[in-house]
Amino acid sequence: MRKDPREPAQDTHSHEVVDPAATRASAPVAAASALVLELQRTAGNRAVTGMLQRDTSAAPSSSGPPAAPGGAGPVGDASRPEVEGLLSTFASASGYDAKNAAGIQAVRAVIAAYSMSTKGLRTMRFKPDLNPKNDAETGEAEDNERESVIEFGPGSFPKGFAWLVHITAHELEHVRQNLIGAYHRGDEVEPVSEFLAYNGSVLQVQSVPGPAGKGLLGALATGAGRGPGLPPLPPDLLADQPEMALAMFSRMPSADQKKPQYRQELAGSRDKLLERLTNEAPRALQPPRKFTPEWTRWAEGKPPSDDPFTIEYQDWADAIKGPWEKVRAVWKKFDANFKVG
């Protein structure tokens, strides 16, 4: 969550953890219009990356686990044991210093394992009194609006490995946006920036460092296959992300809603949700073949049979009590944005 721009990040604790890998933006960013165009192109490309992610992540490797950048450390899901151990340490720790150390160490492990870009990140810290409606917030540094400070609240850490990975990626997307400076309109909520951040969780993509020597634009690449895809959120945590993305999309100016790159992002998330329903939902909630009567009933949330005494109906009645029904319902909202007439 981007911090309210009217409330700049304050150093409320003296125990802040500085990310040594963060590169400070010490000079104004030139050619702002070019940067905005590049970010817009990247936004569209993320949708493709998110849909291709299933192919690259599911393919068996003949050479063993992938190597981390620089040849050290676990990559992607291989970091789960380390991060879960740190989350357990965080949960059992008492006092600010101990929780701050364990929590931020877990975040750093996630950043390294998923090759996330920290360009523009000045510091990050645990904030126990963060507004409880947000699990984390990203604000601008007081002396440089292009640099960012991330504050992780208590809600970042108790929901497991995948949740922390997605929270970290979400906030680093805002770091990238602050570095560009393209979305600051002075509103309490900046819908385009939040739409991109929430949509990234659905697409399972993140900001990764660009190739060396490519300048600022190279460092702002998103996804593009250079880092491992984010882990899939479990269905009970998944549905809220597209719900928020759609809410932010609806608050975007009409002109932005019509831009191809954002329409492509929206379509990418619609397709990603359908893919996950196909592969992971209970059989009674898996989508049938398109353009059939069965598909129409499924899309409308109707049972496969009108007879409540059939096995199909009873299986469906059991399945809709679970979290995948909420995912199907939010998929339908996404799909409605592409209906003609």
What's the CA gap between 291 and 302, in Å, rounded? 15
Helix (H/G/I), strand (E/B), else coil: 2? strand
Instruction: Give the model's pLDDT for residue 73.
Output: 79
Q: What angle do helix axes 96-113 and 161-180 make, rounded to 10 degrees? A: 80
CA 287 vs CA 244, 270, 295, 327: distances in Å: 23, 13, 7, 12
Buried b (16+ CB within 10 A) or exposed e, 73-112: ebbbbebbebbeebbebbeeeeeeeebbbbbbbbbbbbbb
Inter-residue contact 177 to 183 (CB < 8 Å): yes
Question: Which of 108, 85, 89 lies closest to 97, judged by CA?
Answer: 89
Q: What angle do helix axes 161-180 and 191-203 make, rounded to 10 degrees? A: 140
CA 306 vs CA 189, 311, 317: distances in Å: 44, 11, 12
Q: How many CB atoms lie within 10 A of CB 296?
A: 12
Return the DSSP state at 156: G
CA 149 vs CA 6, 63, 140: distances in Å: 15, 39, 6
Instruction: Return phi, psi of residue 126, to 5°.
Output: -85, 135
Instruction: Give the model's pLDDT for residue 70.
Output: 43
Instruction: Report the chain (341 residues): mean pLDDT per 10 consecutive residues.
Output: 50 33 35 44 50 38 35 84 97 96 97 93 96 93 91 97 97 91 60 92 82 44 62 95 95 92 93 97 96 95 95 96 97 90 56
What pTM does this model have?
Answer: 0.78
Inter-residue contact 96 to 13 (CB < 8 Å): yes
Angle at 336 between CA 299 and CA 196, to 5 degrees: 115
Inter-residue contact 265 to 238 (CB < 8 Å): no
- Residue 250, token pair as written in the block: 């609806």
Phi-psi region at 292: left, alpha or beta (left = phi > 0; alpha = psi -120 to 50): beta
- Residue 87, token pair as written in the block: 């989350």
Instruction: Give the model's pLDDT for residue 273.
Output: 97
